[in-house]
Amino acid sequence: MLKKVSFSQLAAMTRISLLLASICLLNSPAFADDAPKTDAKAKSAAKPAEPQRAPTQANVAYGTHERQALDFYRAGSDQPTPVVFHIHGGGWVAGDKKGVSNLEKYLAAGISVVSINYRYSTQAQRAGVKPPVAWPIADAARSLQFVRSKAKEWNLNKQRIGATGGSAGACSSLWLAFHADLADAKSADPIARESTRLWCAAVIGAQTSLDPKELKEWTPNSRYGGHAFGFMPDSNDLKTRDSQFAAFLAGRESVLPWIKKYSPIEHVTADDPPIWMIYSDPPALGQVQKDPTHTANYGVKLQEKCTLLGVACELVYPGAPDVKHTKTENYLIATLKAAKR
């Protein structure tokens, strides 16, 4: 005998049937090939990072602030080793020294690795430092000098140090590559007597200028850089970092000396070391960019100046001509291990 079913029960059974059918359909071969494509980013984000070996020495202090610390990974060698000097990205407002890309490749090639933390520009702003970018840049230079002071103890070739990093870390790396040596031979501090010059630099998505006028000309939808000079309304809210570009552009003249001081492109001279840059999208000068903060337009303009002054500069992006090294690690290993520069 058939049991009577109410309308509400029938509706519930229908919903369950549809749900089961949907699950079966999504698990069918027709959808199996699409799932990895549509969920690739989510799966990548969910997948735990590969474990990285512990540093030979971790959290070595090169200053008194908690962020003035570095990790050292020693390559096995009877001879002093070259060094990859890693500066993390994060817009000078975030990021950490952990997770060095290609670490094992460098160590296998007989190249030691140093990865630094530095004081954020937001911390500098809260401390009243002007401009805020002075802290992360000064820390990059000081930590490099500190590493050189450890050359004998850590079995390092203090001449062959190549800087690398992405975004703000790339900008800091290029600043070191082009800036005049900050070594003070007369200093009572032995670390301050060490050089800040590099053997080379290989960077990813670098900002090569911090001049808002220049950036608007190169890339109309530029938005980056104001926070480096204090144009950030709330240093505790990182979402406000790029909110003041219009005010930055309007107030350019008031901070122009600082812009000149901290823009890598302003320091290029004929005696500078070779550099390598990579960007994820091709350049389009004067046009709106998908990612104006990391556009290849930065690289094109820096390469123009380097070429004019005779500084070796490799620029890589999709479709770039005359590419010699397609990857950061390939360039650094080849250049740091070359018989001569």
Domains in the chain: how many in total? 1
| Separation CA 112–CA 161 (nearest Å) | 9
pLDDT of residue 40: 35
Dihedral of CA 145/341/163/172: which sign? Answer: positive
Residue-wise burial string across 163-188, b where 16 or more C-beta atoms lie within 10 A, e elsewhere: bbbbbbbbbbbbbbbbbeebbeeeee
In-domain check, residue 47: no
Residue 274 has pLDDT above 90, yes or no: yes
pLDDT band at 341 (very low <50, low <70, confident <90, very high): confident
How far is CA 139 from its chain centroid?
Answer: 15
* Residue ranges making up the domain that contains 128: 53-337
In-domain check, residue 48: no
Report residue 193 as tokens. 């007597």
Residue-wise burial string across 21-48, b where 16 or more C-beta atoms lie within 10 A, e elsewhere: eeeeeeeeeeeeeeeeeeeeeeeeeeee
| Separation CA 221–CA 290 (nearest Å) | 9
- Across the range 51-75, mean pLDDT stands at 97
> What is the share, in percent, of the chain residues with pLDDT greater than 90?
83
3-state DSSP assignment of residue 74 = coil
194 close to 148: Cβ distance less than 8 angstroms: yes
Report residue 319 as tokens. 């479709």
Beta-bridge mates of residue 17: none
- Across the range 226-255, mean pLDDT stands at 97
In-domain check, residue 211: yes
In-domain check, residue 76: yes
Helix spans in 47-158 (H): 103-108, 121-126, 134-149, 151-154
What angle (nearest 5°) sits at the alpha carbon of residue 233, between those of residues 231 and 239?
100
**pLDDT tens track for 3-46:** 444 434 444 444 444 333 333 333 333 322 222 232 333 333 33
In-domain check, residue 67: yes
| Separation CA 94–CA 89 (nearest Å) | 7
pLDDT of residue 49: 52
Closest residue by Cα to residue 227 from 90, 89, 92:
92
pLDDT of residue 50: 61
Residue 206 has pLDDT above 90, yes or no: yes
In-domain check, residue 90: yes
Residue 162 belongs to domain with CATH number:
3.40.50.1820
Q: Which of 36-45, 188-197, 249-258, 296-305 is least confident? A: 36-45
How far is CA 310 from its chain centroid?
Answer: 25
pLDDT of residue 44: 35
Helix spans in the chain (H): 7-26, 29-32, 34-38, 40-46, 103-108, 121-126, 134-149, 151-154, 168-178, 212-218, 245-250, 252-262, 296-309, 328-337
| Separation CA 273–CA 82 (nearest Å) | 15
**H or E element in which residue 247 lies:** helix 245-250
Closest residue by Cα to residue 85 from 167, 173, 154, 159:
173
Report residue 196 as tokens. 């800040």
| Separation CA 87–CA 143 (nearest Å) | 10
In-domain check, residue 264: yes
99 close to 86: Cβ distance less than 8 angstroms: no
pLDDT of residue 26: 32
Tell me the CA end-to-end span of the chain in Å, nearest whole number: 93
Position of tokens 């290609």? 102
pTM of the predicted protein model: 0.86
Report residue 66 as tokens. 């908690």
